[in-house]
Amino acid sequence: MKVLVVDAGGRGNAIAHAFSRSDRVKEVFVAPGNAGSEFFPKCRHVEEVPSIRAIEEIVNFAKREDVDLVYIGPEEPLSLGLVDRLEEEGIPAVGPKKEATILEASKCWCKDFLKRIGVPIPEYKNFDDPDDAKEFAREMFESGKKVVVKADGLAAGKGVFVCDSLDEAYFAIDEIMVRKRFGEAGNRVVIEERLYGIEVAFTAISDGKTVKPFGHARDYKRAFDPDDVDGMREFYIGFFKRFITKAEAERLYREGKLLNPNTGGMGAVSPHPKLNEEIERRIMETVVEPVIEKFRIEEGKVFKGVLYPVIMLVEENGELIPKVLEINVRDCDPGAEAKLPRLESDIAEISLAVIEGELENVEIKFSKDYCVAVCAVSGALKGREGLKPGYPSDHYTSQPIEGIEEAMKQAIIYANGIAKPNGYVTTGGRVLTVVGRGKTLEEAREKAYNAISKIRFPGMRYRKTIGLDVPD
Ligand code: AMP
Ligand code: GLY
């Protein structure tokens, strides 16, 4: 079998690696992929596809190479209708059609849908007027609740503002709706109650009728370890272009005012350390199964592919109730990098079953081992254009990377953003995801951290607390 994986980052390389382990698979193309796609046997990086948005180039490549199936990683090509285009050409694909991406592409629509079908969610309201949104945020704070403000549309993971104060909520509403930082995606907002609990990156896979668990992870989203005042200080100076002393940074930190930005993810652990079979079953029964079923029956839309609800387990009367924060129509990143090495079943067989509507007859099994994935990112660095704060904000690229081969002796390396003009260089904010595997979480952590310590590039930074039970 010839497989085409569409993705540019670490998640795509983890998917390609899973296909490369299948005896049925002869060749895996990753489009556009990156220089790290070729770390794995059978895998090839497709340089002629310029980006994940180049729908026609992807379709043409799939036709020319006569691939047997296409597996799509990110939401953007899905919401641009890549699966619809591939099916028109008779090429089977794993991923939802354009109309089914509405679950992720409109947070307002998704919240209304979840409410209508009785899936537990935080209290919320949708708004298309900033003044009304502010009034609701004020009422929430007055009744002792904090809020989260979310742009309705796709905003590359940046459209969510978790607010500690009413001022922050006003700022978020202005950013999204008035200053239109995310363009049209900010025509509407969801304002919802901020929940506290255990956050889970839960995934499931469906052929439209049957849906099965597809692994879970704990995702670490904050850029810095919770006590990394030096790191947050450097970021602050680079971001606001204003020098602060160590003492000032300490004071801001104590007052809870030192920014620890949200990222797309700085690392992940799979399985989620707090999940057990009972909670997994509850998530399937109260969230995943109703979403797939009601989406088909009540909305007339079939969901085929990986569904990734972000769940908050909230304690109520001594029980953990799963509440949905959002739904994604694709696998998580870097959760997939921590999860997929543990997949023991054949991903090619699972994919064919999804395409043919036969998922019912396939077993999906994960190893009991732990995987800890730690992301090496482009951190604060002084260069030709002065000091840049680093990921998730402005950062330098094209920095030479050393030590990848050494690190590979102890861990799996999924490249998020690298190129190889001569030696390896950085091309993005997230650069490499280093995955340690072990019988215990501690063993997996040790391997990941030993391996990542062999890697060096100017400005390189990573969190030290991935796998630990720290507030995030
Ligand atoms: P989302 O893109 O909706 O998953 O939001 C990004 C992150 O913001 C989530 O992973 C959570 O950490 C946080 N978040 C979103 N909604 C809420 C909420 N209602 N309560 C607490 N945290 C939230
Ligand atoms: N790590 C968050 C996401 O994949 O959306």
pLDDT digits (tens, 9 = 90+) for 49-65: 999 999 999 999 999 99
Is 426 in a helix, a strand, or coil?
A: strand
Which domain, by its residues, includes 224?
220-265+370-461
> 280: closest CA among 218, 365, 200?
200
pLDDT at 471 over 90: no
| 154 & 35 share domain | no
Q: Which ligand is nearest to the CA of 373?
A: 2
* Cα–Cα dist 443/430, whole Å: 24
Which residue minimizes the CA distance to atom 15 of ligand 1? 325
CA of 406 to the centre of ligand 1 (A): 37
Q: Which residues line ligand 2 (CB under 6 A)?
A: 157, 219, 264-265, 328, 332-333
Arithmetic mean of pLDDT, 402-408: 97
Q: Look at residue 106 and tell me if it is in a domain.
A: no
Q: Are 33 and 46 in contact (CB under 8 A)?
A: yes
Sign for the CA dihedral angle at 255, 258, 260, 261 comes to positive
Distance 165 CA to ligand 2 centre (A): 25
Give yes or no: residues 257 and 387 share one domain: yes
- The predicted pLDDT at position 177 comes to 95
162 in contact with ligand 1, CB cutoff 6 A: yes
pLDDT, tens only, 267-322: 999 999 999 999 999 999 999 999 999 999 999 999 999 999 999 999 999 999 99
Q: What is the mean pLDDT of the chain?
A: 96
Q: 203 and 299 in one domain? A: yes
Atom 5, ligand 2: residue with shortest CA distance: 332
Contact 16, 1 (CB under 8 A): no
Quick one: 137 and 229 in the same domain?
A: no
Residue 342: CATH number of its domain: 3.30.470.20
Residue 399 carries which DSSP code? Answer: -
Query: Does 70 fall in a domain?
Result: yes
Q: How far is CA 204 from CA 14, 26, 307, 418, in A?
A: 17, 26, 5, 29
Instruction: Answer yes or no: is the C-beta of 192 below 6 A from any ligand 1 atom.
Output: yes
Q: Whose CA is nearest to atom 4 of ligand 1?
A: 326
Q: What pLDDT shows up at residue 259? A: 83
Assess whether 255 and 288 both reside in one domain: no
* Count of domains for the chain: 4
- At 8, phi and psi to the nearest 5? -110, -10
Closest to 15 measured CA to CA, from 336, 276, 321, 260: 336
In a domain, 26, yes or no: yes
Residues 375 and 308 in one domain: no
Q: How far apart are CA 267 and CA 230, in angstroms?
A: 20
What is the chain's percent helix, strand, coil content, to nearest 5?
A: 35, 25, 35
Model confidence pLDDT, tens digit, residues 428-444: 999 999 999 999 999 99
Residue 28 has pLDDT above 90, yes or no: yes
Note the pLDDT of residue 262.
Answer: 87
178 and 215 both lie in a single domain: no
Instruction: Read off the CATH number of the domain in which 189 is found.
Output: 3.30.1490.20
Answer for the pair 45, 37: CB distance below 8 angstroms, yes or no: yes
In this model, does residue 113 exceed pLDDT 80? yes
**Contact between 57 and 48 (Cβ < 8 Å):** yes
Beta-bridge partner residues of 228? none
- pLDDT band of residue 155 (cuts 50, 70, 90) is confident
Both tokens of 282, joined, read: 């509850």
**Residue 327 sits in the same domain as residue 205:** yes
**Residue 211 pairs with which residues in a beta bridge?**
206
Structure tokens at 283: 């998530």
At 413, is the pLDDT very low, low, confident or very high (cuts 50, 70, 90)? very high
Query: Could you give the CA distance from residue 406 to residue 403 in angstroms, rounded to a whole number?
Result: 5
C-alpha to C-alpha distances, 14 to 8, 165, 183, 224, 434, nearest whole angstrom: 11, 39, 32, 24, 11
Are 250 and 290 in a shared domain? no
Q: Is residue 411 part of a domain?
A: yes
Q: Are residues 233 and 91 in the same domain?
A: no
82 lies in some domain: yes
The proportion of the chain whose per-residue pLDDT surpasses 90, expressed as a percent, equals: 95
Instruction: Report CA(410)–ligand 1 centroid distance (Å).
Output: 34
Over residues 323-370, the pLDDT tens digits come to 999 999 999 999 999 999 999 999 999 999 999 999 999 999 999 999
pLDDT of residue 158: 79
Identity of the residue numbered 168? E
Residue 213 CA to residue 204 CA, distance in Å, equals 4
Residue 204: name the closest of 220, 192, 215, 188 by CA. Answer: 215
Can you give the CATH number for the domain in which 84 is found? 3.40.50.20
In a domain, 110, yes or no: no
pLDDT-based confidence at residue 256 (cuts at 50, 70, 90): confident
Is 22 part of a structural domain of the chain?
yes
Is pLDDT at 217 greater than 90 in this prediction? yes
State CA 42 to chain mean position distance: 26
Does 447 share its domain with 322? no
In whole angstroms, give the CA distance from residue 423 to residue 402: 8
DSSP 270-331: ES-TT--HHHHHHHIIIIIHHHHHHHHHTT-----EEEEEEEEEEEETTEEEEEEEEEESS-
pLDDT for 156 beyond 80: no
Q: What is the phi/psi pair of residue 413, to 5°?
A: -115, 120
3-state DSSP of 347-408: HHHHHHHHHHCCHHHCCCCECCCEEEEEEEEECCEEECCEEECCCCCCCCCCCECECHHHHH
Q: Does residue 118 fall inside a structural domain?
A: no
Which of 149, 175, 193 is where one domain is finished?
193
The tokens for 325 are 């924060």
Within a 10 A sphere around the Cβ of 131, how many other Cβ atoms? 10
202 and 302: one domain? yes
CA-CA distance, 202 to 106, in Å (whole number)?
Answer: 20
Burial of 384 (0-12, 13-18, 19+ CB in 10 A): exposed
